[in-house]
Amino acid sequence: MCRNIRPLFNFEPPATNDELRDAALQYVRKITGMRAPSKVNEESFEKAVDEIAGASRRLVDSLVTRAPARNREEEGAKARERWQKRAVRITAAG
């Protein structure tokens, strides 16, 4: 999975439409290999982003869990800690 696409389910506050669209944009960029489409492909590119964002919103809204909602700040801190550990291992191995 693309590292820039983050889990968006079961957070408090819930994922925004902007967060879902950003994830959809990253996905479309990844599968097309284009950061920005040419003029001739722009409409298809944007349509795909919108459709994927819509499908993502429906998915996230329909999922059910008994787990407590995650906190964005706590999850961010955990991710930074994992990154730092990987950086130390890479530095030590190099």
Rounded alpha-carbon distances, angstroms, from residue 53 to 25, 47, 59, 79, 83: 8, 10, 10, 24, 28
**pTM score of the predicted model:** 0.78
pLDDT in tens, 36-71: 999 999 999 999 999 999 999 999 999 999 999 998
Q: What is the DSSP letter of 69?
A: P
